[in-house]
Structure 1
């Protein structure tokens, strides 16, 4: 059993759909990607994000256009947070990661806790690439239903793996056709803060065990997620969605992910989100901009 910051328990068999618990946060991220797609200076284009939000019938407003944001009360979190700024930077960072991995000859990719980002459908993958997506069964089922309704075809060999990461996901991944002898591009986006210390360590150990030399890993990491949510304005972020983010995120002390990976022999590069945003010409503002002191992007390479 894992416990959150205030003692919220998550048992191994517990699942969520797209409008409850962590699934609802994935829906919020999809709404932010839809808003980013409307910008003239957009960093990404996600033509499916708005459809996910509309199909979900969320219990709280999830605007997908500037007009919908403008129609909300001025004190709405969507007007204050400017979540799309950060999510645009984050999504672009990891889109670039996969495209660069493909250019380097890596033809196997694994997206951990993939949520509602339809990278298999929206990215131009290198020829011969197989993309594995791991997430809760109900989340993947919902996503595929919406994509089927849009006739959205993947631009790669696409293999969803419906399993909870707290279960034996490595076996399920292998059964789905994953080949540990081939270099792999791994992504852990918006994932680590939801894992307790032991689960994060096990996740990184499993990635290392399954990674052939030449593999790459991209991680969204937070130096101290607990400190972020000591700010009451940020702590209130999930209230419009009926969530207390402090109940979902783990702030226990733990070894930093780049240090763990270096201990396994990986070469790592770390860039803060503010510096990454500057390279993309984006100024992070709003409540999400206050996260930049702790948020960072890690890219790691397993030497050949």
Structure 2
């Protein structure tokens, strides 16, 4: 599997850890099966990474529970939202990611015997290329409001690729569409805990690129209204304050953003 898939396995292992907690913030029915199916060793998560991932996952879950009837998950990875969230029966959820990753995921799904709670449509693409034709061919309707998710994606894209992705999403979004994404402030590069995590990611062959400090500026120019949340405040809101050993400034460097187009 390619390097980005190794990071997907790493994230799945942290979701499996969360699912085993009695006070879990989410319950991923595929995570343990993904870990068991992995052919290579999955590196252990640095201290605090699993707690961070649980908060981030819950943020996107909450965003999607009140979503449009058309959902596009960019770089869907090995997450199981199509199977674990309480979707309305008419929701169509498009999962976009690399072909080999989605093929591995479908093998795990078949082995686990789980059934999607919505209409799940798999679209094998490389998001650095032009993926709009493949999405349209899969049944995406550009005239319908869409809920877009880019979880843990923008950090791995170059500035030109990020701009291209944003322009594409804006061009495909009908009035009433919504978009959730995250990024890390450039200040995170100065935090020891963040540097350790980034070194772990890079050791798996994936290049992490810190994003700009003004997430709202990316989208407000395109007519979106943007709200920004931070990990420590969300942790308190979810009843899971961050452990004392976590660096509050490092955790606060991650921006979790929601954007909306007027209906």
Q: Could you state the TM-score of these two structures normalised by the residue count of structure 2?
A: 0.92
Match of 1:274 in 2: 232
SS for the counterpart of 1:24 is: helix
Match of 2:203 in 1: 243
How far off its partner does 1:235 sit?
3.0
* 2:95 aligned with 1:95: no
Distance 2:9 2:144 in 1: 33
Distance 1:37 1:291 in 2: 24
How far off its partner does 1:281 sit?
1.4
Residue pair 1:137, 1:162 contacting (<8 A) in 2 also? yes
Q: Could you state the TM-score of these two structures normalised by the residue count of structure 1?
A: 0.80
SS for the counterpart of 1:81 is: coil
Name the stretch that deviates more: 130-139 or 270-279: 270-279
How far off its partner does 1:288 sit?
7.5
| 1:112–1:37 CA distance, 2 compared to 1 (3 A) | same
How far off its partner does 1:83 sit?
1.9
Distance 1:166 1:283 in 2: 36
| 1:81–1:288 CA distance, 2 compared to 1 (3 A) | farther
Q: Counterparts in 2 of 1:64-213, with a 5 A limit?
A: 78=45, 80-101=46-67, 106-213=68-175
Q: How many residue pairs get matched?
A: 262
Match of 1:295 in 2: 254
SS for the counterpart of 1:212 is: coil
Residue pair 2:97, 2:125 contacting (<8 A) in 1 also? yes
Distance 1:97 1:128 in 2: 17
Distance 1:31 1:244 in 2: 14
| 1:265–1:238 CA distance, 2 compared to 1 (3 A) | closer
In the TM superposition, what whole-angstrom CA distance separates every residue of 1:242-280 from its partner, at most 9, and x where no partner exists? 7167x611137x473321211111111111111111111
How far off its partner does 1:239 sit?
5.9
| 1:268–1:241 CA distance, 2 compared to 1 (3 A) | closer
SS for the counterpart of 1:298 is: strand
Root-mean-square deviation (Å): 2.1
| 1:30–1:60 CA distance, 2 compared to 1 (3 A) | closer
> Which of residues 199, 202, 218 in structure 2 aligns to 1:260?
218
| 1:171–1:255 CA distance, 2 compared to 1 (3 A) | farther
Residue pair 2:10, 2:42 contacting (<8 A) in 1 also? no
Distance 1:233 1:292 in 2: 9
Residue pair 2:191, 2:250 contacting (<8 A) in 1 also? no
How far off its partner does 1:143 sit?
0.4
Residue pair 2:75, 2:150 contacting (<8 A) in 1 also? yes
Distance 1:255 1:89 in 2: 21
Structure 1 segments, 4+ long, off by >4 Å, are 230-233, 238-242, 286-290
Which consecutive unaligned segments of at least 5 residues does structure 1 have? 1-16, 62-76
